[in-house]
Structure 1
Amino acid sequence: MRVGTTVIGDRVRTPRTRASIGIARRDITPPTGIRAKNWGPADWERSEGAHRPFELTALAVIGGDRRPRLLLAVDGTWWRRVADEHRVRGAILGALGLDPDQLMISLSHTHAGAVLCAADAHLPGGELIPGYLDMLATRGAEAGREALQTAAPGLIEWTTGRCGLAADRELDLDGRALVGFNPTTVADDTVTIGRVSVDDVVRATLVNYACHPTTLAWQNREVSPDYVGALREVVETATAAPCLFVQGASGELAPREQYTGDTAVADRHGRSLGHSVLAALDSLPEPGDDLTLTGVVESGAPLAIWAGHPTEGGGGAAGSLTSVELPLRALPTLDELAEEWKDIDGRSREERLGRARNLRDGYIDGPSVQHPLWAWRLGDAVIIGHPGEAYSRLQTTVRARFPGTPIVVMNLTNGPGFVYLPTREAYERGAYQAWQTPLAPGALELLEEHACAAVAELLDH
């Protein structure tokens, strides 16, 4: 049975959100020539075109508490500095008159997008970054305003599917911890899906899946949404409505086949996820219906007749913006890191040092950090988001704790805190994510417990 589906007497209840709902979209394709060097081995710095369009899609939900909430699903890489994230999100909040708890901006995390770091303006292609950040803020505010202003009574009906695209990417080879497909470990394959409808017509599909968009790497010179582009094409062709993708807790998950310049591979990955989404959508009854036992027909056998029947429910809404204190590990200085990495390729060394420098700016100011968590209860479902890159244990833990509730779990949402949250085992094996993060072992577990407490409090409303 699908996650969140419950049996009540002669009725199979589909979990739903009943609210005023609005959808809007803007094109945010980065300009050709913008800095898109996201990989150490890349011997180029400016993009040379676009594989597929980049989209920003707004979902506005005004639930039973009458407090508007806005989710922006954005094709984008990752924030490298707190100042840039604050600049964009702050501009959108100000333009729309929203409080910080009312807005979640979720980045898809494509590794083939524009560099989102204004401090790189002096580098080739970097002169286009500040203007691109301003464009993100402007179009985010435009889409958000349109979604809020056009919101009409509707439904989000929730279901789950399965997709085998994501794989564990922690491979040990001759005692060295690599970032690549590990065929001995089973990855979380859950796809959480929300079908959005107004007046019984599908208006959008929300897709939450955990898998790094790292298909395309240094060989590819075009900006690309990676597999998310083909996912959207498959779902939107079938539903005639926008598809919003939000990245799950994918710290250790990625496609089996990746690090290529072949865009056909990214498209194949997206199609596999898209078809999984369509299969799950086709398991739902018509909008607003629950599958109901309507009677018995006598034939060669007594036949139980189940059919869709209109139902109510799914109202109510609540939200919170909280933070959890996370410990830091002893961090090497930038000079010590430069010495440690002195023998690797120069381009890769500078990429590593740049990331380490940015991680220390605006997030770390003491022996611990305050890591934010956004949580919304929308009818029968809960959406949680945080800015870090948590391992998939975050989503499996929270969903296991609340098995009757559809829960969307989003990495790379708002800020500050664009850091990995690995498992203790990842620290022990010397995984990249563990030595790259400033957080100490145990941070993931603290976030898990905090997230579970936040969800429990919302469900008690």
Structure 2
Amino acid sequence: IPMVGFAGRDAAAAVHDPLEATVLAASDGDDQLLIVSLDLLQLTAESVACIRQKISTATGVAPTSIALACSHTHYGPSVNDHDVDLVDSYRTHLSHVLAGVCREAMDRCQPARMGVDWGASDIGINRRELRDSRIVLGQNPSGPVDRSVGIARIDHANGQPIATVLNFACHPVSLGGRMAEISAGFPGKARRVVEEMTGTLSLYLQGACGDVNPIRMEHDHDAARSLGVRLGCEATRIWETIQVQDVHSVAFASKTIHLPGYRYDSQTNAENLQQELLRDIAVREKEGEQNSGPLWWARHRLEHVEAAIVSWQTDEALSAVEC
């Protein structure tokens, strides 16, 4: 199956560790909530709406009370490509599996208490490095980084630990851009560490990772193992000291926001960049590049630049532009 997260990679050649979906179900008797964590890079709004509806049909939970959160692993399958048989089948199967898992989570709800606390981890580093008068993807120790590790501990009313929610912000890219083996990356390892040390099920929620990459990026699974162990141990340290308390109500809010598209300051600037990208692409293709990262990125940028130019000419709004 095609992988997603880096350009220029072949289809997945093997599975190093399994991808998981973890569900937290909560109810106060009146309102219900489902949080679904997925070992995937991302989902489109269309896919989210479809999955929410299938889960809602299976559980009775309103679609607006179902949160889907991707761990953002860069070593999972593509689920957004269309007209690719394996991807279409995977996407369809995924929605059915999630509906069943969520139904099971709702059926297994039990009286519980919860506590929350925070720690810190140094496994992330700002990736915007100034090198030779250019900003590149590298390491910038002085750049902003959110080191917060958030932990929610959920125990049964009788005191038996049930579940742990782990929140941290860092791109799961520790295996580098050439790895063609399916993996949940360091979030998966951190989750397993927490589960082994606490005896609970663990759900990983990716934070606003922005420009934060792991301090180790190597074409080797040991980097993900090491980072995951460090994060998982910090999470467990926090977990051990959390005091749980009764929770009397469940609340969930969902809001869609519309962001203005970036228009490159002027139509002239956009058209100049368009020509620059066209020349760059032509040179790369002439030199025999077919599926390289730089060629993919140039085409990706060109697509959005041309969309911006069209929006000027037709006065149409852009929902999002990424360059």
TM range (shorter): 0.7 to 0.9
TM superposition score normalised by structure 2: 0.84
- Residues 41 and 130 of structure 1: CA distance in aligned 2, closer, same or farther (over 3 Å): closer
> Offset of 1:328 from its aligned partner?
1.5
Equivalent residue, structure 2, for 1:75: 39
* Aligned-partner Cα distance in 1 for 2:216–2:254: 37
Equivalent residue, structure 2, for 1:97: 60
> Offset of 1:170 from its aligned partner?
0.9
> Offset of 1:219 from its aligned partner?
2.5
Q: After superposition, what is the alpha-carbon deviation per residue over 1:122-145, rounded to whole angstroms, capped at 9, x for unaligned? A: xxxxx3111111121111111111
Q: After superposition, what is the alpha-carbon deviation per residue over 1:301-326, rounded to whole angstroms, capped at 9, x for unaligned? A: xxxxxxxxxxxx53233332223342
- Residues 40 and 60 of structure 1: CA distance in aligned 2, closer, same or farther (over 3 Å): same
Equivalent residue, structure 2, for 1:433: none
Matching residue's letter, 1:106? A
- Residues 358 and 242 of structure 1: CA distance in aligned 2, closer, same or farther (over 3 Å): farther
Matching residue's letter, 1:323? T
Indicate if the aligned counterparts of 2:153 and 2:165 stay in contact, CA closer than 8 A: yes
Structure 2 counterpart SS, 1:328: coil
> Offset of 1:352 from its aligned partner?
5.2
Indicate if the aligned counterparts of 1:37 and 1:46 stay in contact, CA closer than 8 A: no
* Aligned-partner Cα distance in 2 for 1:120–1:269: 36
Identify, as 1 or 2, the structure richer in strand: 1
Equivalent residue, structure 1, for 2:3: 36
Structure 1 counterpart SS, 2:111: strand
Report which stretch shifted further, 103-112 or 327-336: 327-336
Structure 2 counterpart SS, 1:180: strand
> Offset of 1:341 from its aligned partner?
4.0
Equivalent residue, structure 1, for 2:49: 86
Aligned with 2:262 (options 306, 329, 343)? 329
Matching residue's letter, 1:91? K
Q: Quick one: percent identity of the two aligned structures?
A: 25
Matching residue's letter, 2:98? G
Task: Give matches, 1:89-168, under 5 Å.
Answer: 89-119=52-82, 121=84, 127-168=85-126
Q: Which runs of 5+ in 2 are unaligned?
A: 265-269
TM superposition score normalised by structure 1: 0.60
Equivalent residue, structure 1, for 2:20: 55
Equivalent residue, structure 1, for 2:248: 315
Q: Which runs of 5+ in 1 are unaligned?
A: 1-33, 122-126, 289-312, 370-416, 420-435, 438-461
* Aligned-partner Cα distance in 1 for 2:86–2:304: 19
Aligned with 2:317 (options 367, 371, 390)? 367
Equivalent residue, structure 2, for 1:228: 187
Indicate if the aligned counterparts of 1:84 and 1:118 stay in contact, CA closer than 8 A: no
* Aligned-partner Cα distance in 1 for 2:52–2:277: 33
* Aligned-partner Cα distance in 2 for 1:142–1:160: 32
Indicate if the aligned counterparts of 2:48 and 2:68 stay in contact, CA closer than 8 A: no
Matching residue's letter, 2:2? R
Identify, as 1 or 2, the structure richer in helix: 2
- Residues 358 and 206 of structure 1: CA distance in aligned 2, closer, same or farther (over 3 Å): farther
- Residues 146 and 40 of structure 1: CA distance in aligned 2, closer, same or farther (over 3 Å): same
* Aligned-partner Cα distance in 2 for 1:180–1:74: 27
Indicate if the aligned counterparts of 2:277 and 2:298 stay in contact, CA closer than 8 A: no
- Residues 76 and 335 of structure 1: CA distance in aligned 2, closer, same or farther (over 3 Å): same
Q: Please tell me the root mean square deviation across aligned C-alpha atoms, in Å.
A: 2.7
Task: Give matches, 1:165-314, under 5 Å.
Answer: 165-198=123-156, 199-258=158-217, 260-285=218-243, 287-288=244-245, 313-314=246-247
Task: Give matches, 1:338-349, under 5 Å.
Answer: 338-339=277-278, 341-342=280-281, 343-344=283-284, 345-347=289-291, 348=293, 349=295
- Residues 108 and 37 of structure 1: CA distance in aligned 2, closer, same or farther (over 3 Å): closer
* Aligned-partner Cα distance in 2 for 1:242–1:133: 25
> Offset of 1:338 from its aligned partner?
4.8
* Aligned-partner Cα distance in 2 for 1:355–1:216: 25
Structure 2 counterpart SS, 1:324: coil
- Residues 78 and 319 of structure 1: CA distance in aligned 2, closer, same or farther (over 3 Å): closer
Indicate if the aligned counterparts of 1:217 and 1:261 stay in contact, CA closer than 8 A: yes
> Offset of 1:351 from its aligned partner?
5.4
Indicate if the aligned counterparts of 2:40 and 2:76 stay in contact, CA closer than 8 A: yes
Structure 2 counterpart SS, 1:144: helix
- Residues 356 and 203 of structure 1: CA distance in aligned 2, closer, same or farther (over 3 Å): farther
Indicate if the aligned counterparts of 2:32 and 2:250 stay in contact, CA closer than 8 A: no
- Residues 326 and 118 of structure 1: CA distance in aligned 2, closer, same or farther (over 3 Å): closer
* Aligned-partner Cα distance in 2 for 1:69–1:338: 46
* Aligned-partner Cα distance in 1 for 2:51–2:300: 21
1:46 and 2:5 equivalent? no
Indicate if the aligned counterparts of 2:127 and 2:137 stay in contact, CA closer than 8 A: yes
| Count of equivalent residues | 302
- Residues 101 and 184 of structure 1: CA distance in aligned 2, closer, same or farther (over 3 Å): same
